[in-house]
A and B are shown apart, each in its own frame.
Chain A
């Protein structure tokens, strides 16, 4: 994985042309996003299946979560084992605000993001100073701290029974989230907007700074980049998208459960990234779709879900040695280069 990244990073960037090119690719991204949203929005009219809508909503929640994790893992080289805490935090904050205060949904949404920003900034400020395994383990420790707080603060969170009683969903701007179709469209919109924003972050100069930090943090700091600040910024930004994923999940299950903030969610995030690949932007999204399809079909067929999942992990880790999207992109490049060769 890292070899691959190093190889790619070693290629010359073509500095003068990058401005115009990035402008053009930005328009292209927006077009793709609009097209993707249009396709997702027409699905309910083509298929009557509610399970398909369920599936897409869950994809939106986990997709945002996994892609935001890739901003840390793939782009900045910070392997966070505790990213799930922000997923849980989003779910709990949003559900609690809706249950306790009865404010309109957009207000609760923004408040949740604010809460996440503050907490992520505090946790990030402590964590991002550390490197590699130390960073991974301190994030894991914070995740367990948040998980324990959810478990023990029973009067607020409902403890290990989770937040019960459903989430009230007052209508806002004509959107009624208790209507399943509305929830579906809103989830799709959040997913597409979230992905588009993350794509912009990844392709911005800041995004390239992150790649530089990943490849050589010392060099980055010598040319005047405040590494700590850049790392903290991306840590907080990633937390915001994970939190949005949590909000979608809390709306989907109409509650929040401590499992959302447990380390297994972070583990699933890492696994999705392994599955889809970390060198392409859409890798985690592909990984999410793959994992959920696998989850849904395998649990339908057998109780021994763990065995099947383990074999798949082994196949990707030992067999392919990269994620699916990495593999596809590489394969495509090999074919293209091969074609050029033949044409010569």
Chain B
């Protein structure tokens, strides 16, 4: 008689499956301590609508890490990046950050999270005491609010309030010259959009007191259709429009507003226009949109900046973004601080990094500084200009004055009760 096979899975294969499960379960927790290389963990967003944030952050870091490793690494130790996707969820960002430190043995963190993720990673840094650089969060309070301050966390991203001061000053000068009194705003409906718009309007009115806002539109983040927003603005008939839309939202908005010839009816100030993510994607880039510089190859107009952008383009076959330079700057500062401290120890690097000034292709005067008091980046190139439809897209950029920025920032901090 032949033996009938039993229905379902056999006991032996069940055991094998369970064994395999146990192995996958246990291996990650075997921390691999390697003295020679230093692991740097990087939680970021590599999937979903803002995946470009993660890929350009990774590229920005990679290009610098290659240079640092070729030059001998951090105090003689080669850098190994461990980059993980948080899917843009703060609890995942916190988990990934913890795992990078506790399991993968990362000694330093580059936090390339956006918005809420950065605050979640900040708490992890506070909890574990691990050295951490925030590279993408532009929310001013992350470093400005003394309650957030911890000695081991830094920021190399631009800061919302800096942009608003420069933007407000630039827009006010044009408003005065062209007599633009009636303004409208159109910004994404979340913290970044609301805060930056409020700050911009505040400084615009500071510099040009007779400006009034006659209409405001708040499209949802990642909204696909902007018809109602465009018509609302057109009906209000403002003389000028401010927008903090960015990335895909900004390009969709421009493509749709172009149909209504919005750009010929008013002056448009779009702070996030001058970034290759937007410039190269818009179908018909209108002439004369005013924009802050996010990242463009021609500003600062130095050989170093152009060379950096070309090297980046050659390596990744795309232009750098705002996120690229912010992350590259983190690695540059890290390398210099480590050299100065002659150590790869997070605490010593942090001590060396406070107040550190380095040469940088992205500096307003060829250098950037990690300000000691609130551990955030200052002195980076910041300015506004107008667009043309083809390269170099923004031919002339009017630079912001860092003396003025710092003075007004100090006032702003006081008004917020931060100092």
Q: Which residues of A contact B (CB under 8 A)?
A: 47, 49-52, 54, 58, 151, 154, 159-162, 164-166, 249, 252-255, 257-260, 264, 293, 296-297, 299-300, 303-306, 331, 334-335, 338
- Of residues 63 through 96 on chain B, the ones whose CB sits less than 8 Å from some CB of chain A are 84-85, 87, 89-92, 94-96
A331 x B91 contact (CB < 8 A) = no
The number of inter-chain residue pairs (CB within 8 angstroms) is 110
Give the distance in Å from the alpha carbon of A165 to the alpha carbon of B116 in the complex. Answer: 12
Asked if B388 CB lies within 8 Å of chain A CBs, one says no
Give the distance in Å from the alpha carbon of A37 to the alpha carbon of B119 in the complex. Answer: 33
B148 x A165 contact (CB < 8 A) = yes
Contacting residues, chain A, for B228 (C-beta < 8 A): none
Identity of the chain A residue whose Cβ is nearest the Cβ of B97 in the assembled complex: A253
Contacting residues, chain B, for A151 (C-beta < 8 A): 190
- Of residues 117 through 174 on chain B, the ones whose CB sits less than 8 Å from some CB of chain A are 119-120, 122-124, 126-127, 139, 141, 147-148
Give the distance in Å from the alpha carbon of A254 to the alpha carbon of B123 in the complex. Answer: 6
Give the distance in Å from the alpha carbon of A306 to the alpha carbon of B46 in the complex. Answer: 11
Q: If the complex has contacts A58-B95, A164-B148, A303-B47, are A159 and B190 also in contact, measured as CB distance less than 8 A? A: yes
Give the distance in Å from the alpha carbon of A97 to the alpha carbon of B198 in the complex. Answer: 29
Partner of A254, one of B126, B190, B191: B126
Contacting residues, chain B, for A159 (C-beta < 8 A): 190-191
7 new A-B contacts, CB < 8 A, other than A160-B115, A296-B28, are: A51-B29, A54-B99, A159-B191, A160-B191, A161-B139, A260-B91, A303-B46
B24 x A297 contact (CB < 8 A) = yes
Contacting residues, chain A, for B7 (C-beta < 8 A): 334, 338
Contacting residues, chain A, for B85 (C-beta < 8 A): 299, 303, 305
Partner of B127, one of A161, A164, A254: A254
A162 x B120 contact (CB < 8 A) = yes
Q: Closest approach, in angstroms, between the C-beta of A79 and any C-beta of chain B?
A: 24
B8 x A334 contact (CB < 8 A) = yes
Give the distance in Å from the alpha carbon of A297 to the alpha carbon of B127 in the complex. Answer: 24
A51 x B119 contact (CB < 8 A) = no
Q: Which residues of B contact A (CB under 8 A)?
A: 6-9, 21, 24-25, 28-31, 46-47, 51, 84-85, 87, 89-92, 94-96, 98-99, 102-103, 115-116, 119-120, 122-124, 126-127, 139, 141, 147-148, 190-191
Contacting residues, chain B, for A335 (C-beta < 8 A): 6, 8
Give the distance in Å from the alpha carbon of A160 to the alpha carbon of B30 in the complex. Answer: 36
A293 x B99 contact (CB < 8 A) = no
Q: Closest approach, in angstroms, between the C-beta of B365 and any C-beta of chain A?
A: 32
Q: List 18 A-B contacts (CB under 8 A).
A: A51-B98, A54-B95, A58-B95, A159-B191, A160-B115, A160-B191, A162-B90, A162-B120, A252-B91, A253-B94, A257-B89, A264-B89, A293-B25, A297-B28, A303-B51, A331-B8, A334-B7, A335-B6
Contacting residues, chain B, for A299 (C-beta < 8 A): 84-85, 87, 92, 96
Contacting residues, chain B, for A166 (C-beta < 8 A): 123, 126
B120 x A49 contact (CB < 8 A) = no
Give the distance in Å from the alpha carbon of A306 to the alpha carbon of B51 in the complex. Answer: 13
Identity of the chain B residue whose Cβ is nearest the Cβ of A260 in the assembled complex: B91
Give the distance in Å from the alpha carbon of A335 to the alpha carbon of B6 in the complex. Answer: 8
Q: Closest approach, in angstroms, between the C-beta of A29 and any C-beta of chain B?
A: 25
Give the distance in Å from the alpha carbon of A249 to the alpha carbon of B90 in the complex. Answer: 11
A259 x B148 contact (CB < 8 A) = no
B89 x A259 contact (CB < 8 A) = yes
Contacting residues, chain B, for A162 (C-beta < 8 A): 90, 116, 119-120
Identity of the chain A residue whose Cβ is nearest the Cβ of B89 in the assembled complex: A259
B90 x A257 contact (CB < 8 A) = yes
Q: Closest approach, in angstroms, between the C-beta of A330 and any C-beta of chain B?
A: 9
Identity of the chain A residue whose Cβ is nearest the Cβ of B48 in the assembled complex: A306
Contacting residues, chain B, for A305 (C-beta < 8 A): 47, 85, 87
Contacting residues, chain A, for B47 (C-beta < 8 A): 303-306
Most A Cβ at <10 Å: residue of B29, B31, B84? B29
Give the distance in Å from the alpha carbon of A89 to the alpha carbon of B28 in the complex. Answer: 33
Give the distance in Å from the alpha carbon of A335 to the alpha carbon of B29 in the complex. Answer: 36
A300 x B147 contact (CB < 8 A) = no
A51 x B28 contact (CB < 8 A) = yes
Give the distance in Å from the alpha carbon of A54 to the alpha carbon of B91 in the complex. Answer: 12
Identity of the chain A residue whose Cβ is nearest the Cβ of B31 in the assembled complex: A49
Which 7 interchain pairs have the tightest Cβ spacing? A49-B29, A50-B102, A51-B103, A257-B90, A254-B123, A253-B94, A303-B46
Give the distance in Å from the alpha carbon of A51 to the alpha carbon of B124 in the complex. Answer: 13
Contacting residues, chain A, for B89 (C-beta < 8 A): 257, 259, 264
Contacting residues, chain B, for A47 (C-beta < 8 A): 29
Give the distance in Å from the alpha carbon of A255 to the alpha carbon of B127 in the complex. Answer: 12
A300 x B29 contact (CB < 8 A) = no
Q: If the complex has contacts A47-B29, A51-B28, A159-B191, are A257 and B8 also in contact, measured as CB distance less than 8 A? A: no
Contacting residues, chain A, for B31 (C-beta < 8 A): 49
Identity of the chain A residue whose Cβ is nearest the Cβ of B150 in the assembled complex: A166
Partner of A161, one of B24, B99, B115: B115
Most A Cβ at <10 Å: residue of B9, B91, B103? B91
Identity of the chain A residue whose Cβ is nearest the Cβ of B46 in the assembled complex: A303
B116 x A160 contact (CB < 8 A) = yes
Partner of A54, one of B98, B147, B148: B98
Contacting residues, chain A, for B190 (C-beta < 8 A): 151, 159-160
